[in-house]
């Protein structure tokens, strides 16, 4: 049976419900992109997401303390699985190799860590002796976790996350995390200061919950995988592509004569549970003479070039041929190298990729990369 709540606990419970809702939506939003890794992995995301949504609904009313301890233990367990998957790898996943850290999984784990902090403050709040200590500790941990996100983002841990709606503007995600973390920290500091908050404090706390809600919903949306791609249902080949945008109205990249550039064509995802070896790639459809293709490369998992390309390849890029492996859950960007000729326009419209799993095969994927060199004054 739930015990009577102090004046601060309903606010803490409402914040916990919001955090559980956000974490659940992030997990459910990733189910589709993990179907290619098998039902075991996709099912994990479904189960965790549904449990978190149910928990969010249950927390709309007071619950026994044992239920809240279960919430702490469950959140810690999910974080633990995530840490193992990103450090040593999960033994029941094909290949068992560590996965790259991304925006979506980082956000879900951050939200779950915040949940543990808020639930801990809820459980400690009824004891006046521990209330000031809980306020300082909870606020410090929330701010520390937010600062850790920023440090990791500045180090490129999340900003290289492929195939996300926020991939082209990672700073938006970082600022939203900062807004949410600061709002939560201020709310915790105010919410644990005494049994009877002043009217202005109640109004401020409602505003802080609103800021956390808006930033959280925006973060969930920004971490959703885009739906634009080819062979997403994996019906025709063991490879699929995910694009950051459509093919229409592509602005040409303007280059000087003899200038080189490396431009991403798309990201390649391995379907099913088997590693796919990309062994060859050829340009199928081209138009114009403004540039020549001087090579194709696979970038390491987690490394991403901007859509406008770059003047040099990152370390670890593998030329095709001989190509390299594409592991389920670790998409790799396919990059095309161009050398400008100074003779106007050039467009690359499709690439044919040869791959090998247990059998050899090939598949043609559309792309759209436009180059202009020489007479580009009207661009």
- Per-residue pLDDT at 379 exceeds 60: no
Q: Which residues of 250-262 are buried (b: 16+ CB within 10 A; e: fewer)?
A: eebbbbeeebebb
C-alpha span between 354 and 231 (Å, rounded): 15
Looking at per-residue confidence, does 148 or 164 come out higher? 148
Tens digits of residue pLDDT in 305-358: 887 889 999 989 999 999 899 988 788 999 999 999 988 899 998 899 999 987
DSSP 237-265: -SEEEE-SS-STTPPPEEE-TT-EEEEEE
Q: What percent of the chain has pLDDT over 90?
A: 37
* Two structure tokens written together for 278: 């990309």
C-alpha span between 335 and 15 (Å, rounded): 44
Averaged confidence pLDDT in the chain = 83
332-340, strands of its sheet edge to edge: 229-230, 239-242, 260-270, 332-340, 291-298, 318-320
Q: What pLDDT is recorded for position 214?
A: 93
The answer to whether the CB of 361 falls within 8 A of the CB of 237 is yes
Looking at per-residue confidence, does 35 or 350 come out higher? 350
* Two structure tokens written together for 298: 């696979």
Class of residue 111 by CB neighbours under 10 A (exposed 0-12, middle 13-18, buried 19+): buried
Write out the H or E segment, with its range, that includes residue 151: helix 131-154
Looking at per-residue confidence, does 226 or 157 come out higher? 157
Tens digits of residue pLDDT in 193-251: 655 667 777 788 888 889 999 999 998 888 877 666 788 777 888 888 876 444 444 67
Q: What pLDDT is recorded for position 237?
A: 86
Q: What is the pTM for the complete model shown? A: 0.66
Q: What percent of the chain has pLDDT over 70?
A: 85
Q: Name, of 19-28, 33-42, 59-68, the range with top average pLDDT.
A: 19-28
Compute the Cα dihedral for 42, 47, 48, 52 and give only its sign: positive
């Amino acid at each position: 049976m739930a015990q009577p709540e102090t004046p601060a606990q309903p606010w803490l419970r409402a914040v916990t419900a919001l955090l559980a809702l956000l974490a659940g939506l992030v997990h459910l939003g990733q189910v589709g992109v993990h179907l290619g890794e098998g039902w075991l992995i996709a099912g994990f995301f479904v189960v965790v997401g549904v449990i978190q949504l149910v928990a969010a609904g249950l927390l709309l009313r007071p619950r026994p303390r044992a239920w809240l301890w279960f919430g702490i233990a469950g959140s810690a367990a999910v974080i633990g699985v995530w840490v193992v998957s990103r450090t040593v790898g999960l033994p029941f996943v094909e290949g068992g190799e560590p996965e790259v850290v991304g925006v979506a999984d980082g956000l879900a784990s951050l939200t779950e860590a915040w949940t543990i902090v808020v639930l801990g403050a809820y459980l400690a709040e009824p004891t006046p002796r521990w209330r000031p200590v809980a306020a300082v500790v909870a606020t410090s941990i929330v701010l520390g976790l937010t600062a850790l996100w920023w440090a990791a983002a500045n180090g490129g841990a999340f900003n290289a996350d492929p195939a996300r709606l926020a991939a082209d503007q990672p700073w938006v995600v970082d600022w939203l995390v900062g807004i949410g973390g600061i709002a939560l920290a201020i709310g915790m500091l105010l919410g644990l200061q005494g049994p009877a908050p002043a009217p202005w404090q109640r109004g401020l706390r409602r505003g802080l919950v609103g800021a956390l809600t808006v930033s959280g919903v925006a973060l969930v949306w920004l971490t959703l995988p885009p739906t634009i791609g080819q062979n997403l249902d994996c019906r025709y080949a063991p490879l699929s592509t995910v694009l950051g945008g459509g093919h229409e109205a592509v602005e040409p990249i303007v280059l000087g004569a003899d200038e080189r550039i490396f431009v991403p064509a798309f990201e390649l995802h391995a379907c099913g549970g088997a590693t796919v070896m990309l062994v060859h790639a050829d340009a199928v459809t081209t138009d114009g003479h403004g540039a020549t293709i001087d090579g194709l490369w696979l970038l390491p998992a987690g490394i991403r070039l901007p859509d406008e390309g770059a003047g040099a390849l990152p370390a670890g890029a593998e030329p095709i041929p001989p190509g390299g492996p594409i592991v389920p859950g670790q998409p790799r960007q396919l990059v095309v190298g161009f050398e400008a000729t100074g003779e106007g326009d050039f467009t690359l419209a499709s690439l044919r990729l040869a791959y090998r799993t247990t059998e050899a095969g090939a598949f043609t994927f559309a792309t759209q990369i436009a180059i202009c060199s020489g007479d580009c004054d009207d661009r």
